[in-house]
Amino acid sequence: MHFVKNATYVSEYKLLLSFEDGTVRLIDLQPHLDGEIFEPLHDINYFKTVRVNPDLDTIVWDNGADMSPEFLYEVGKPVAEPALMRAAAV
């Protein structure tokens, strides 16, 4: 079972998420924002309000939208530490 420790907005609908096992993954959520609960996230400014809820161990938004940490881990692409620094600087 995985859980999200930190979330950083990168660009568009991309987030850098760090997980409990020390991995960092780049996740593009654009193709996964289907359904009524995710409709507000199409507004990029609202999408940027993402945060980690430590009680749920995953990312959430104020409208109640969240995503399974297992799903996020699965769809994310592993990022090496130097690449992480470059991505965060963009």
What pLDDT does 22 receive?
Answer: 94
pLDDT of residue 16: 97
DSSP 69: H
**């809820």: which residue's tokens?**
53
Q: What does the pLDDT profile of the chain (90 residues) look like in tens digits?
A: 899 999 999 999 999 999 999 999 999 999 999 999 999 999 999 999 999 999 999 999 999 999 999 999 999 999 976 555 455 555
Break the chain into its structural domains and give their ranges.
4-89
Q: Which helix H or strand E contains 4, and what residues bound it? A: strand 4-11
The class level of CATH for 4-89 reads alpha beta
pLDDT at 80: 78
What length does the chain have? Answer: 90
pLDDT of residue 88: 55
